[in-house]
């Protein structure tokens, strides 16, 4: 199936030009890959990866099937049980838990332990469940605070490193007649980003994951401390008015017009800000500031490859995982003309986009607490839905906190039982 792709992907193979020990193995038979990289640019990357790996192994035939990304969410379990491929695309952390628990993903912990996957230390946690690793990441992107650097300069503000400095900056911004943060919480998930960061900074990454897995209580002192820190910003009037009526895109003009100075969001917002007329001299990025003395966890949604537990060519599948996470391949596929995201290998490099450079530096060196996958990926789907409704309600009606926490705790006991 892949032989027809070799010529079209030849430039990819030449550019990468890898010959590591893993890639030089004498592999044979057929390697079946199912990928949900169905949008045009990701599909081209996936086809190039498969064709290049095929070309590196003359006795191996790589068969690639690309499926619709949304449809794959309902098809994956059947694919893993009825006629399992060797390698599939999916997501990290809690999103892989159902397939790990069902025995459908291969344990590849030995690859991490034996040094077969160099450069992945900072993202290993995202692939870990029950103390074992169940796949590899291949791309991710940072979250953080994107802000109007020109307004900060006008007001004499510098990037804060602590929450106290964040609040002090916010007060000066409010005194200037602007709001500190734009947010569109109409579709709920953006409020999840604020909770993720405030909880990881208040209680640490490990506690945040215990909450996500149902081991910690929503009515605990730790969670109450997170909401207390959040309320400091709400009571100041830090957020734009009526944010619950806006989508995240509809809230961007507040930053573009300078009516709000910052947005806690993923790097996917940057092209929109540029298209709206802001220059890179006007916008900048910083890591969410420190609150308590805990390691700095980060939100960085991660896409992954896994080996099916009933795969028929596990040797080739393992070699492909080594290949796709190697530094050179990571540099190539995540470049601006590829996925336009961040390489997971700390030894890879990024281009001259300043936001990708800052995100790569932060996630590969400064994410000392661990990599979270974002609220609606880390929490089970039903808990995520109930939880994000409560988070948005708190932002609009903070006096409802007790009712919200009690509802979320009742949901936790029901959903995780």
Q: What is the pLDDT of residue 6?
A: 36
CATH architecture of 143-299+371-415: 3-Layer(aba) Sandwich (3.40)
pTM of the complete model: 0.83
Taking only Cα atoms into account, the Rg of the chain, rounded to an integer number of angstroms, comes to: 22
Q: What are 153's two structure tokens?
A: 């300069």
Q: 345-374 burial string, b = 16+ CB within 10 Å, else e?
A: bbebebeebebbebbbebbbeebebbbbbb
Q: What is the pLDDT of residue 48?
A: 96
Contacts 24+ apart (CB under 8 A), 9-13: 9/47, 9/48, 9/50, 9/51, 9/52, 9/55, 10/51, 10/55, 12/48, 12/49, 12/51, 12/52, 12/332, 13/48, 13/51, 13/52, 13/55, 13/56
Q: What are 249's two structure tokens?
A: 């895109």
Q: Give start-end residues of each CATH 3.40.190.10 domain in the chain.
A: 2-139+302-348, 143-299+371-415
Q: What is the pLDDT of residue 368?
A: 85
In angstroms, the CA 242 to CA 397 distance is 12
In angstroms, the CA 326 to CA 117 distance is 8
Strand bridging mode 29-35 / 143-148 = unpaired
Q: What is the pLDDT of residue 404?
A: 98
Q: What is the pLDDT of residue 25?
A: 64
Q: What is the 3-state secondary structure (H, E, C) of 218-255?
A: CCCHHHHHHHHHHHHHHHHCCECCCHHHCCCCCCHHHH
Q: What are 130's two structure tokens?
A: 């029950």
Q: What is the pLDDT of residue 381?
A: 85
Q: Give the residue carrying structure tokens 């230390």.
A: 121
In degrees, to the nearest 5, what angle opens at C-alpha 192 toward C-alphas 188 and 195? 140
Q: What is the pLDDT of residue 367?
A: 84
CB atoms within 10 A of CB 237: 12
In angstroms, the CA 179 to CA 325 distance is 42
In angstroms, the CA 294 to CA 203 distance is 7
Collapsed DSSP state (helix, strand, coil) of residue 107: coil
Q: Which fold has domain 2-139+302-348?
A: D-Maltodextrin-Binding Protein; domain 2 (3.40.190)
In angstroms, the CA 313 to CA 259 distance is 57
* CB-CB contact of 193 with 143 (8 Å): yes
In angstroms, the CA 282 to CA 104 distance is 48
Q: What are 227's two structure tokens?
A: 């909401």
List the chain residues with pLDDT less than 70.
1-25
Residues paired with 137 in a beta bridge: 304
State the burial class of residue 79 (Cβ atoms within 10 Å of its Cβ: 0-12, 13-18, 19+).
Answer: middle
State the burial class of residue 339 (Cβ atoms within 10 Å of its Cβ: 0-12, 13-18, 19+).
Answer: buried
């Amino acid at each position: 199936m892949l032989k027809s792709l070799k010529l079209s992907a030849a430039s990819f193979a030449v550019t990468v030009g890898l010959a590591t020990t893993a890639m030089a193995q004498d592999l044979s038979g057929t390697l079946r890959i199912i990928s949900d990289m169905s949008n045009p640019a990701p599909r081209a990357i996936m086809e190039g990866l498969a064709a290049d790996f095929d070309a590196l192994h003359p006795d191996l035939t790589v068969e690639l099937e690309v499926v619709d990304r949304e449809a794959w969410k309902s098809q994956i379990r059947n694919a893993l049980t009825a006629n399992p491929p060797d390698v599939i695309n999916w997501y990290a952390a809690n999103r892989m838990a159902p397939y790990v628990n069902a025995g459908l993903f291969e344990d590849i912990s030995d690859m991490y332990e034996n040094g077969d996957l160099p450069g992945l230390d900072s993202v290993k946690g995202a692939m870990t469940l029950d103390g074992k690793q169940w796949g590899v990441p291949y791309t991710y992107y940072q979250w953080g605070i994107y802000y109007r650097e020109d307004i900060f300069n006008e007001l004499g503000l510098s990037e804060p490193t602590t929450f106290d400095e964040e609040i002090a900056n916010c007060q000066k911004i409010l005194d200037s007649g602007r709001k500190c943060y734009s947010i569109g919480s109409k579709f709920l998930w953006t409020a999840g980003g604020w909770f993720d960061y405030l909880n990881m900074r208040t209680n640490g990454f490990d506690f945040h994951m215990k909450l996500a897995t149902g081991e910690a209580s929503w009515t605990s002192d730790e969670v109450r401390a997170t909401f207390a820190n959040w309320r400091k910003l709400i009571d100041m009037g830090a957020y734009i008015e009526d944010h619950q009526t806006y989508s995240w895109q509809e809230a961007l003009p507040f930053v573009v017009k300078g009516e709000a100075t910052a947005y806690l969001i993923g790097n996917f917002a940057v092209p929109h800000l540029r298209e709206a007329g802001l220059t890179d001299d006007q916008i900048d990025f910083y890591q969410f500031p420190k609150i308590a003395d805990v390691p700095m966890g980060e939100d960085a949604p991660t896409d992954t490859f896994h080996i099916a537990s009933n795969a028929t060519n596990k040797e080739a599948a393992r070699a492909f995982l080594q290949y796709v996470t190697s530094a050179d391949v990571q540099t190539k596929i995540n470049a601006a003309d590829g996925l336009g995201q961040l390489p997971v290998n700390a030894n890879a490099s990024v281009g001259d986009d300043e936001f990708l450079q800052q995100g790569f530096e932060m996630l590969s060196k400064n994410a000392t607490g661990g990599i979270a996958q974002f609220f609606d990926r880390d929490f089970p789907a039903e808990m995520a839905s109930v939880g994000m409704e409560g988070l948005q309600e708190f932002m609009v009606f903070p006096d409802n906190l007790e009712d919200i926490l009690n509802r979320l705790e009742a949901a936790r006991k029901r959903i995780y039982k």
